[in-house]
Every structure is written in structure tokens, then in C-alpha cells.
Homo-oligomer: A and B are copies of this chain.
């Protein structure tokens, strides 16, 4: 357990209880523990955890916290991969789970209004019933919340065709660190009135304000979808196929890949026996209206049928039924948790490179793995160049720890040398904060810190994130 926890004094506890009700504030160590960790596997104890029931309560909490210089850390489901919801300086964790209502789905205008605690997958299911579509689909969508998705600007497999969370957020209701409630954006398709505060809050990792309401743009649900699976005998062949598919004019709504190690850890979920020479799998979906899906599927299959051009293809298979599609997706979504079969800890990165550089990147990680003698698996959103690189290690082994840190730094340097970026969808949090200056120039960093100061002059809202300069 890392530092951070401080006991909260009685007066503070009383005041917070008076705001949220005694039943919605917890301070017992065993309760706090449940809110001390996130998807990084790191742990920091909060001083207290509150479960506010309304924006008005959050506003009162923030006004008080701002006076008392009490750190406040908003938390969705804690599925973040960079430590965004960890109370690294102790303080009050605000769990948003009670603000979990879908307030409105305006089907005709394709707009919804919802609270931040709504679970992403449940929201997607609710709009689907009305023939509507909310595309962003992080792998954790059965658990993660819309508020967390907005705070981190989450992506997912569908981003290759449909973009990321940012592209669907029209407006927000936000509580500022001093307790003031404000609104940003619009509920219309377009809007350019004043500076774009909606997108400034989106991806700001809970450091500028607490989101209490989200206005979301929806699409019409595609009527048809086809799912394909391709096995190859090398990672390079898979990477080349990705580039060729994208060049062919097919725009898949999913173009995911898994390397050999990723396949190994989710083998039990796969709906087929893998040939022993399998080194990579591509999961490809096309969607749209009936004719368009047919046309894209046909184009894709005829490209993949050219075995002279792509001798590394071992098998091409169209999912036979809904069950097979579900199994494939289950396998895909299980990779991240299943990696812990290999080692107790990992460094999980979500770098992005230009699509044509994917072969370079997978080549680099394979060599790095051999050179450092450490397990590195890669998988993810090949279609948009957003590759998940998991460096597996045992933190109790100082040698592996050191190798892991070396691998991470060399990965970042290489990705930037390819004109890539350190994060496509996880954000900076604490795990990438020490590397921020590798990517951003000094002026950008200075401006971002000044913006933080405008919104949060006392630095009480999610302190220690993004700009922290110590290594965690």
C-alpha cells in the first residue's frame, strides 16, 4: 500500500455526513480498501469515501473541500488503466454510482442525457432498444461508467470507424472545484458558441471539474454486421493485412489483432482450435445497411483469398452465428485480465502509431522482449494504430521491475520516433505522468498547468494526476 492515507478529522467527517447523509460516507479501513485501487493494480488509501446522491450535494462537498484544502477524487467504476481515480494524496473519494440515471433518450433527435454513474454497456443496451447506437466500446464496458469514459476520453474497437468518446459528447453539466455548477456545449448537432469547454473537460481525467450530467449524440443503429476471423503464421503478416484492408476501401467497424501470447491466455474462450503455427489473429467486423455490409464483406473476402499475395494466412473464417461472435468478443475482452495468468503484475500501455507503422512497432516489441528476456504481449486496435502493449512482470522481483521500466521507456521513445503518441485512450494519470515531457513541448505543459490553475486554484481536485513529475 502506497502512502496517501491520512485519517480524517472528526469535524470534517461530521460536515460531510451532514451533506450526504451518514449512510453515504464511509471511513472504516475495510470499506476504504475497496476504493483504494484501480485497473493499474496500484493502491492508495483514501481518508474517506462519499457516495453523493445529487449534483447539489457534490456542489456542497466541493465548496467545503475547497475551503479546507481537502483533496477530492472523483471515481467511476475504477477500471482506469493509468491511475486516474487513485487517491495518491489521500483525501475524499467521490463515488458517482448513485448518479446513475438515464434522464432522457430523445430518439428523434438522436440525443440522450444521462448521469455519470450510468454503466456504458447498459446505456448502449438502452439506446439499442430504440434502434439507436452509442459506439464507444471500451473493453470494460460491462463495468465502466459513462462519467469515467468522458473523463478519460475512452476509445475501444469501434473507434476505427466511429471515433472515440469525445466525438459523441455534445455538452456537460459540471461542478467546479469551488462548488459552482456550470453547463457546457449544446444539445444540437452543431454548436460553436465560445471556447470549447466540453472538449476541454473531456479527457481531462477528473482534474478540472466533476461531471454530473452528460449530453450524448447518438447514431442510427446499423442494421447489419458480419464478423470475420483471420489466422496468420506471423505477426508481420497480420500487420501487413491490416494496412492492406484499410487501403482496399473497406472501413471495418472493428479491426483488432491479438499476438500469439494474447491468444494463449484467452485460448479457452476461442470458438476454434488454433493450428500450431498460429502467431496472430485478426478480428474483423463490417457493419452498415444490408447492401453495404454485403459489399464490404465481399471485398474483404476477395482480398483475403489472394494467398499468393498473403502467404502467411492460415485460415479465414466467418462467424457462423451470434454465439461464435460473442465468444470471439469474450476472448478479445478477456485478454487484459487474463494476462495475469502469466505474471502477477504488468505495465499496460496503449500507444498509438500511424497505421503504416504497425509492422515496425510489433517488430520492435518482439525484439525488445527477446533482448530484455521479458514477456511482452501486444493486441488491440490495429485499425487505428492504437496498440496495447502489455509488459508482464513480478514487481517483487527487482530485476524484472527494472527491465519493465526499461522496456516502457524504450517503447515510448520508439513510438514517438514513429510520430506516435503515448496514449490513445487510457490517458496519463500517474503511470505516464513522468513521461509527459517526452511528447509535449514546454509551452503546452505550461499552458495546461495554467488552465488547471484557472479551474482549480487550490489544487484540490484529483491532485497528482497528469502533471505529477515523480515516477510512480
* A195 cross-chain contacts in B, Cβ below 8 A: 200, 203-204, 208, 448, 451-452
- A interface with B by C-beta (< 8 Å): 106, 108-111, 152-153, 155, 159-160, 163-164, 166-167, 176, 180-184, 186-197, 199-200, 202-204, 208, 220, 223, 243, 247, 249, 251, 288-292, 294-296, 352-356, 381, 384-386, 419-428, 432, 436, 439-441, 443-445, 447-448, 450-452, 454-455, 466
Copies of this chain in the oligomer: 2
- From B187, B197, B356, A108 is in contact (CB under 8 Å) with B356
Instruction: Assess the A421–B294 pair: CB atoms within 8 A.
Output: no
Shortest beta-carbon distance from A362 to chain B in Å? 16
Instruction: Assess the B193–A423 pair: CB atoms within 8 A.
Output: yes
Shortest beta-carbon distance from A410 to chain B in Å? 18
- From B188, B251, B385, B427, A188 is in contact (CB under 8 Å) with B385
Instruction: Assess the B184–A444 pair: CB atoms within 8 A.
Output: yes
Nearest B residue to A207 via CB reads B195
- The 7 A-B residue pairs whose C-beta atoms are closest, nearest first, are A292-B292, A291-B291, A190-B424, A189-B384, A182-B443, A199-B199, A188-B352
Shortest beta-carbon distance from A341 to chain B in Å? 28
Residue from the set A111, A166, A381 with the largest chain B CB neighbour count within 10 Å: A166
* A354 cross-chain contacts in B, Cβ below 8 A: 106, 109, 111, 187-188
Instruction: Assess the A193–B421 pair: CB atoms within 8 A.
Output: yes
Instruction: Assess the A194–B292 pair: CB atoms within 8 A.
Output: no
Residue from the set A176, A182, A183 with the largest chain B CB neighbour count within 10 Å: A182
Instruction: Assess the A176–B295 pair: CB atoms within 8 A.
Output: no
* A189 cross-chain contacts in B, Cβ below 8 A: 159-160, 352, 355, 384-386, 424
Nearest B residue to A420 via CB reads B188
Cα–Cα distance between A387 and B360 once the two chains are bound (Å):
48
Instruction: Assess the A448–B204 pair: CB atoms within 8 A.
Output: no
* A420 cross-chain contacts in B, Cβ below 8 A: 186, 188
Shortest beta-carbon distance from A84 to chain B in Å? 11
* A187 cross-chain contacts in B, Cβ below 8 A: 354, 419
Cα–Cα distance between A419 and B188 once the two chains are bound (Å):
8
- From B153, B444, B450, A183 is in contact (CB under 8 Å) with B444
Instruction: Assess the A439–B193 pair: CB atoms within 8 A.
Output: yes
Cα–Cα distance between A404 and B253 once the two chains are bound (Å):
48
Nearest B residue to A424 via CB reads B190
Instruction: Assess the A192–B427 pair: CB atoms within 8 A.
Output: yes
Cα–Cα distance between A141 and B420 once the two chains are bound (Å):
31
Residue from the set A163, A167, A186 with the largest chain B CB neighbour count within 10 Å: A186
Instruction: Assess the B164–A190 pair: CB atoms within 8 A.
Output: yes
* A353 cross-chain contacts in B, Cβ below 8 A: 188
* A424 cross-chain contacts in B, Cβ below 8 A: 188-192
A-B contact pairs, 15 of them (CB 8 A): A167-B167, A176-B443, A184-B444, A186-B352, A188-B424, A190-B385, A190-B386, A192-B426, A194-B444, A195-B203, A197-B447, A220-B251, A289-B292, A291-B294, A292-B295
